[in-house]
Chain A
Amino acid sequence: MDKQDLEAQIRRVREGDPAGFEAIVRAFEWPLRTWVLSHCPPGGDADDVAQRAFIEAFKRIGEYAAETDFRAWLFAIGRYQLMAEATRLRRTADYHRRYAPIALAEELERRAAAAAAPSDRLDRLRACMGGLNPQAREILGQRYREELPLEEISRRSGRSVGALKKYLFTLRARLHECIARKAATETT
């Protein structure tokens, strides 16, 4: 959606036509969801936060200054929603003993507060996954796509649960290093 189309859809929403907002959600769904997802604290529902950001944008569309940066405006709302989610989770009894170590939660919050903009991390992750062998991709698929219990993946793969945990840690670490390498290459 180019800027002209976007401004036209915003005008439609202001005039009372929600269909214009559906087009906006469709256009920004992917970047906002992935940004929220990667910064959402443990125990938080990232899709719910992203939805709430869109809903606030819908209700406050009259406050958006036409012909300025809508993406930045939307992401700022997303950031506020994420901060609100982090605040809510912190108030949950035993949150840091059940869902998230304090240091990790604070680091994720710091990152969310520092950069409300789409990241290339997902693209890099996808590219790095292409470099994995089929067996590794199958294990990751069972863990993340099918959400099978480790015991079942263990049965299917013939690895012990302990070995499987080690293998998953290695795969995640390998992907992380690959993403870091790509980021370094792309910025030099």
Chain B
Amino acid sequence: MNRDERFEELWTAFLEGELDAAGFEELDRLLGSDAELLRRAADLYEEHRLLGFTLQSDDAERFVKGTMARALRDREGFVSTVSDSVRQAVPSRPRRIAGYLIVAAAAFLVSLGVQPLLSKPPAPALEPVATLVRAQGARWDRGGDLPEGSRLLQGRLRLLEGAAAIRFDSGAVMLLSGSADLDLEARGRALLRAGKVTVEASEAYGFTVRTPAGEVVDLGTEFAVAVEPTGATEVHVLQGEVSWSGSTSRVLQTGQALRFDSGAAPEGRSVPLTDKGFKELLRTIRPLPAEKSLIAYEGFEYPAGEREPGQASGGTGWKGPWRLRTPEETRNDRDTSTSFIVGAESLSGPWSLPAARGGALHLPAARSFRVRPLAEPIDLGRDAVTYVSFLMRQELVDRDPPFFRLTFRSSEDFPNQVVGFGMPPTRRPSIYRNRDNFNASVSFEPGPLLLWVCKIASRRQGPDEVFLKIYRPDEPLGPLEPAVWTLATGPFLSDARLDLLLLTGTGQGRQWFDELRIGRTWESMTRQD
């Protein structure tokens, strides 16, 4: 295969979202070594984007209305942001955008030799570095109530009352209770200004808690750190080892508890070891009851057999029964099977999940699309976290393998406002957002039952993110959401209001779908009744 043929192959895979990590590297080498080919590729990419634009239906009006709605909403948000800024809260969406603009504008003016008009250096854009994985009665100075599952940006975070568990993106889990004041500095580092935290960092070697008196670095362990208003710091090693660096440096072992006070005890003074370990403390942080956090449920509790979709209206949290797509939603892509088939047996796997009810939806070897309106839409324009879970199994076939997608869409703009999850024939799961596909680098073989847990973290002012975790039957389900997801979108901005659920099954293999849950907490997806 010559260079042009290889470029054609790699380029096509790139545009179709089928390129794997090795393919990306090879394509990059090819483009980086040939300036002419790089120019051609950039032209082809621009034309690829423009083809989509020119062939899509004219949606100028939607764009104009959407822009005006956002502009007016941001103007309102800007006012409240200014009033909050004295508290050093995390920069909101408009402030972040303004920050980017200031950086770019300053660079541009400097490049022109013009004296910058901006007197203050801009703050760098803040990134999400952790997730609030559980909270009980927690009240924060950063926006009052934070929903469980919220992504936490770098910056100061003060717990005023209650208890909470935070998972840093490096994998360490930190428990806080009562009053605690800390700075989330990075994926694997926090500054504890006051209060007490307990950390379990077995998945995050090197996790660091800084305090006014020094720095605690985890060496694969479980430990607690308490900081008093004077800055005096206690370090308790519950398991493993930690390194302490303050006025002096030393390694602390399991069972050691020392108090460091830069004035009175810079070398460290022994204190009684805290009597509560991480697991015990975590158990005391009770999540919201499932009945309060479950938004919608469909267990396909219908008599086995075929019926019209409109006759299936079971479950809870829905605005109406299942239906086929309207002609406007269908456009030119018609269903080749329109019946709603329910199998007698519910899907159930080895995971510790709420008891399965009813049967399971059977998606035949055909092109079938089933829609159901949500009673409570998923609104990406507000601060919320929405979890979605379901069980799914696909038949192994030789040709035209099954393609499954679950997407949330807007009834106001069905084709363009999309957040969804799918398993294409490449067997590498995808997240869909509007016209972008995000493809996983891992693949899943057809046949076994898979548990999908998805998370949509939205912000009124700030970046949104979507995550997907697929569990194979041999993979245990933890009490907290995972540190590592199968796939994530990275931060993006959207105000879409998604009020429809669309299930899509195509290809020649049969597919089964069951136990669909939409809720506000990880526990509402996974906890046994």
Q: Which residues of A contact B (CB under 8 A)?
A: 18, 21-22, 25-26, 29-30, 33-34, 37-40, 42-43, 45-48, 50-52, 54-56, 58-59, 76-77, 79-81, 83-84, 87-89, 91-104, 107-108, 111, 121-122, 125-126, 129, 140-141, 144-152, 155, 165-166, 168-169, 172-173, 175-176, 179-180
Cβ of A98: which chain B residues have Cβ within 8 Å of it?
21, 24, 438-439, 441
Cβ of B490: which chain A residues have Cβ within 8 Å of it?
43, 88-89, 92-93, 95
Contacts A84-B101, A93-B490, A98-B438; is A40 near B40 (CB within 8 Å)? no
Question: Are B108 and A76 neighbours in the complex by a CB distance under 8 Å?
Answer: yes
Q: Which residues of B contact A (CB under 8 A)?
A: 8, 11-12, 14, 16, 21, 24-25, 27-28, 31-32, 38-57, 60, 63-64, 66-68, 70-72, 74-75, 78, 94, 97-98, 100-101, 103-105, 108, 125, 127, 331-333, 367, 400, 403, 415, 424-425, 433-436, 438-439, 441, 490-494, 506-507
Question: Are B51 and A48 neighbours in the complex by a CB distance under 8 Å?
Answer: no
Question: Are B44 and A54 neighbours in the complex by a CB distance under 8 Å?
Answer: no
Cβ of A26: which chain B residues have Cβ within 8 Å of it?
60, 64
Question: Are A29 and B40 neighbours in the complex by a CB distance under 8 Å?
Answer: no
Question: Are B54 and A122 neighbours in the complex by a CB distance under 8 Å?
Answer: yes
Closest CB of chain A to B147's CB: distance in Å? 23
- A103 to B32, alpha carbons, bound, how many Å? 6
Contacts A58-B75, A176-B43; is A83 near B24 (CB within 8 Å)? no
Closest CB of chain A to B12's CB: distance in Å? 5
- A30 to B64, alpha carbons, bound, how many Å? 10
Give the contacting residue for A101; candidates B28, B100, B105, B331; CB below 8 A. Answer: B28
Contacts A101-B28, A148-B333; is A22 near B506 (CB within 8 Å)? no
Question: Are A25 and B64 neighbours in the complex by a CB distance under 8 Å?
Answer: yes
Most buried by B among A37, A155, A165, A179: A165
Main secondary structure, interface of B, reads: helix
Give the contacting residue for A172; candidates B44, B55, B425, B491; CB below 8 A. Answer: B44
Question: Are B97 and A52 neighbours in the complex by a CB distance under 8 Å?
Answer: yes
Cβ of A169: which chain B residues have Cβ within 8 Å of it?
8, 11-12
Contacts A25-B67, A176-B43; is A145 near B492 (CB within 8 Å)? no
- A121 to B48, alpha carbons, bound, how many Å? 11
New A-B contacts (19) at CB < 8 Å, excluding given A43-B490, A144-B56? A21-B68, A25-B63, A29-B67, A45-B492, A52-B97, A76-B108, A95-B490, A97-B25, A108-B42, A111-B42, A121-B50, A140-B55, A144-B51, A145-B57, A151-B507, A152-B367, A169-B11, A176-B40, A180-B43
Give the contacting residue for B63; candidates A47, A92, A99, A146; CB below 8 A. Answer: A47
Contacts A39-B46, A55-B67, A172-B47; is A165 near B16 (CB within 8 Å)? yes
Question: Are A122 and B50 neighbours in the complex by a CB distance under 8 Å?
Answer: yes
Cβ of B435: which chain A residues have Cβ within 8 Å of it?
147
Cβ of B14: which chain A residues have Cβ within 8 Å of it?
101
- A88 to B100, alpha carbons, bound, how many Å? 10
Q: Which residue of B lies closest to A111 (CB)?
A: B42
- A107 to B36, alpha carbons, bound, how many Å? 11
Closest CB of chain A to B354's CB: distance in Å? 32
Cβ of B415: which chain A residues have Cβ within 8 Å of it?
147
Give the contacting residue for A80; candidates B16, B66, B105; CB below 8 A. Answer: B105
Listed by A's residue number, 6 A-B pairs whose Cβ atoms lie within 8 Å are A29-B60, A45-B433, A52-B97, A98-B24, A107-B41, A122-B54
Cβ of A152: which chain B residues have Cβ within 8 Å of it?
333, 367, 506
